[in-house]
Chain A
C-alpha cells in the first residue's frame, strides 16, 4: 500500500482533547511539521499558554513550558535572551495575547525580540466556556455578551496584526486561516517562514495570526463554523502579510 500521509515525528500519537471542528489540532500539526522540516526538534522551546491549548506539550514533542495567562512574550524574552541559540515560540489564544497579555506582546514586539508568536484567533474564550474576547465580532453572542457585542458597550474587535505591524520591532506579521485545505497549506507556509526567519537570526519579532473555528462556543456545526469564519470573520480580520 502506498503511504500518502504520515504523522510527523514531533507530533505525539495520542487522542486529542480538542472539540470536533476545533482548529488547534491542525495548527499544532502545522507547527510540528514545520519544526521537523527545518530539523529543529532538538533545539526548540515552545510556550503553552493559558487557554484551551494549555496542554500543547501533550501533543508537541519538544521542550516546553507552560506560563501564566498572557505572560508568554515576557517568558519568551527570558528564554531567548538566555538561550539565543534555541528557537523559541509562544502559542497564544486571543484572550491570552490580545486581552490580559496585550502589554507583553506589545513590548516584546517593541523591543524587537527574536522569537516567534503563533496567535490563534477564534474570537472567543474557549476554556472558560465561551465569554467575549477582544477579537469577538460585533453582534456575536457570547456568555458575557448575551445580546451580542455592541461597539458602544464593548468596543470593536481588536486587530492585532494591524496594530503590531506599526512597530519597527516587528520583523514579520501575517494573518492566515485554517478554514479550508488551501488556507491550511498557506498557513503552513507562514508558520515555516516565521521559524525560518528566527533561524536566520533576523532582527525583530515574527507573528503569525491564525483565524481558527470554535464550533462549540460559536454554537455551530463544524462545517457552519468554517463557513462563518470564511464569510464573516475574514471581513473584519483580512488575511495577508502586514509586515516583512
Chain B
C-alpha cells in the first residue's frame, strides 16, 4: 500500500503492529482503545496469527508473558486503569527480560476517571508502576502517522534489549483520523537470536524463564546487569525533535498530543516577535536530557505543557538542572490546554523586564 488512507490512530497502530511482525495479541476491552482490540480480532486470524480476548488486563499481560517466553512477537493494549492492573506483569516481564510491547492509550484519572484524553500516566510509564528497579522504553507518538511508524522500532527495541516497550498515546491520538501512509518501516537493526526462548529442550539443555533468585549476591548481580542495559539504552536510544532552538529565549517542552498544541503556540508567538522554540521528546524513557540541557545553555526559560498537572515537568527540571527557570502549564481530567491559553502563558512569562520565577 503506497497511498495515504484516512484511518484512526488506534487502527493505524494495530495495522502497523501486524506489519511489524506481531504474532500474538492479547487484550481486554477498555475505552478509548477498543478499536485496537477489535481490529486485531478481525485481522490477526486473517493472517493466521493469535488473538485472544482475555478475561482481564491481569490475564492479558500474563498471556503476553507466556507468549513472549516462546520467542514470538507479542503485544497487549489498554488504557490507564487497565495499565494499572498490568503493572505486576510488567515488573515480571522486566525481571525475566522478556520482550513485549504494551500500548497505553491514556484517559482521564485517577480511578475510573473518564474516557477523555490525558497524559497523567507519565509517572507510571517512566518510573515503573510495578515493583523493583526496572525500566521500560516509552515511545510517545504525536500523530496518527507516528502511531503507526513507532510500532516498528517498538518491536525491534523490545527484541534487541529484551525489554518491555510501552507506546504511550492518548484518547485523542487513538480516536482521531488523519491521513496515513502505511508501509513497512525497516529499522535495519541486527536482532539477537532468541536462544533463551521456551521451545522444548530437545537437543539442548533446559531453558528457564524466571525472575526469582533467592541468593542475594546473584540477584544483586542480575540487577546490576539490568542497570548496565538501561545505561546502554540511555546512551543509544533517545529520540526527540526540536525546532527554532537556535535563538529561542523560551523553549516549550511537550510530548504527544500536547506537542501539537505547542507547535501552533510557537509559530503564533514567533509572529508576535517572541523568540520561542520547542522540544518534543519521542522517547520519554530514555528522556532527552542532553538535548534539553543543551537548549538550557541558550534559552532564558522553559515552559512544559502537558495534559496532566506536571509530570514530565520533573524530568525537564532535572535536565535543565537550574540553568533556567522551568514553568508548567497543563490541564487534566480529559481537558486539553488551548493554543490561546498556552500562548497567553508564554506572553506573560516573556513580558519585558519580568524576572522569571519557577511556577
CB of A62 within 8 A of CB of B62, answer no
Q: Which A residues touch B274, using CB under 8 A?
A: none
Say whether A44 faces chain B, with CB atoms less than 8 Å apart: yes
Say whether A83 faces chain B, with CB atoms less than 8 Å apart: yes
Point out the residue from A62, A66, A77, A106 that lies within 8 Å of B52, measured CB to CB. A77
Closest to B209 in A: A65
Point out the residue from B67, B201, B206 that lies within 8 Å of A81, measured CB to CB. B67
Say whether A53 faces chain B, with CB atoms less than 8 Å apart: no
CB of A82 within 8 A of CB of B55, answer no
Q: Which A residues touch B58, using CB under 8 A?
A: 71, 74, 103-104
Say whether B254 faces chain A, with CB atoms less than 8 Å apart: no
9 closest Cβ pairs, A-B complex: A78-B66, A42-B202, A74-B62, A78-B63, A107-B55, A75-B66, A78-B67, A66-B210, A71-B62
Say whether B355 faces chain A, with CB atoms less than 8 Å apart: no
Say whether B24 faces chain A, with CB atoms less than 8 Å apart: yes
Q: Which B residues touch A54, using CB under 8 A?
A: 212
Complex Cα distance A239/B222, Å? 45
Which B residues have a C-beta under 8 Å from some C-beta of A?
23-24, 26, 50, 52, 54-56, 58-60, 62-70, 72, 74, 88-89, 92, 96, 198-203, 206-212
Complex Cα distance A82/B66, Å? 8
Jot down 24 A-B pairs with beta carbons below 8 A, ordered by A: A45-B200, A48-B210, A57-B208, A61-B206, A62-B200, A63-B200, A63-B207, A64-B198, A65-B69, A65-B96, A65-B210, A67-B62, A68-B89, A68-B92, A71-B89, A74-B66, A77-B54, A77-B66, A79-B66, A79-B69, A80-B66, A81-B24, A104-B58, A110-B55
CB of A83 within 8 A of CB of B199, answer yes
Looking at A63, A67, A71, A107, the one whose CB has the most chain B CB atoms below 10 A away is: A63
Q: Which A residues touch B210, using CB under 8 A?
A: 48, 57, 64-66
Say whether A43 faces chain B, with CB atoms less than 8 Å apart: yes
Additional 8 contacts, C-beta under 8 A, given A66-B210, A71-B65, A78-B69 = A41-B202, A45-B200, A62-B200, A68-B92, A76-B66, A77-B66, A79-B70, A107-B59
Q: Which B residues touch A44, using CB under 8 A?
A: 200
In the assembled complex, the CB of B2 is this many whole angstroms from the nearest CB of chain A, namely 32
Q: Which A residues touch B207, using CB under 8 A?
A: 63-64
Point out the residue from B50, B56, B201 that lies within 8 Å of A63, measured CB to CB. B201
Say whether A138 faces chain B, with CB atoms less than 8 Å apart: no
Q: Which A residues touch B200, using CB under 8 A?
A: 42-45, 62-63, 86
CB of A77 within 8 A of CB of B63, answer yes
Point out the residue from A61, A80, A106, A110 that lies within 8 Å of B201, measured CB to CB. A61
Complex Cα distance A86/B60, Å? 21
Closest to B202 in A: A42
Complex Cα distance A67/B210, Å? 7
CB of B67 within 8 A of CB of A63, answer no
Point out the residue from B24, B54, B201, B211 that lies within 8 Å of A82, measured CB to CB. B24
Q: Which B residues touch A104, using CB under 8 A?
A: 55, 58-59, 62
Point out the residue from B72, B89, B203, B211 that lies within 8 Å of A42, measured CB to CB. B203
Q: Which A residues touch B24, using CB under 8 A?
A: 78, 81-82
Complex Cα distance A32/B66, Å? 22
Point out the residue from A64, A78, A81, A110 that lies within 8 Å of B62, measured CB to CB. A78
Complex Cα distance A62/B198, Å? 9
Q: For window 111-127 of chain A, which residues contact chain B by CB distance below 8 Å?
A: 111
- Say yes or no: A66-B211 contact (C-beta < 8 A), given A42-B200, A81-B50, A82-B50: yes
In the assembled complex, the CB of A107 is this many whole angstroms from the nearest CB of chain B, namely 4
Closest to B210 in A: A66
- Say yes or no: A65-B202 contact (C-beta < 8 A), given A82-B23, A82-B24, A82-B50: no
In the assembled complex, the CB of B29 is this many whole angstroms from the nearest CB of chain A, namely 14
- Say yes or no: A78-B26 contact (C-beta < 8 A), given A43-B200, A67-B62, A83-B70: yes
In the assembled complex, the CB of A20 is this many whole angstroms from the nearest CB of chain B, namely 21
Q: Which A residues touch B54, using CB under 8 A?
A: 74, 77, 107
Complex Cα distance A48/B208, Å? 10
Q: For window 61-109 of chain A, which residues contact chain B by CB distance below 8 Å?
A: 61-68, 71, 74-83, 86, 103-104, 106-107
CB of B199 within 8 A of CB of A75, answer no
Closest to A85 in B: B200
Looking at A66, A68, A74, the one whose CB has the most chain B CB atoms below 10 A away is: A74
Complex Cα distance A142/B189, Å? 56
Over the window 38-59 of chain A, the binary record of Cβ atoms lying under 8 Å from chain B Cβ atoms (1 yes, 0 no) is 0001111100100000100100
In the assembled complex, the CB of A28 is this many whole angstroms from the nearest CB of chain B, namely 14
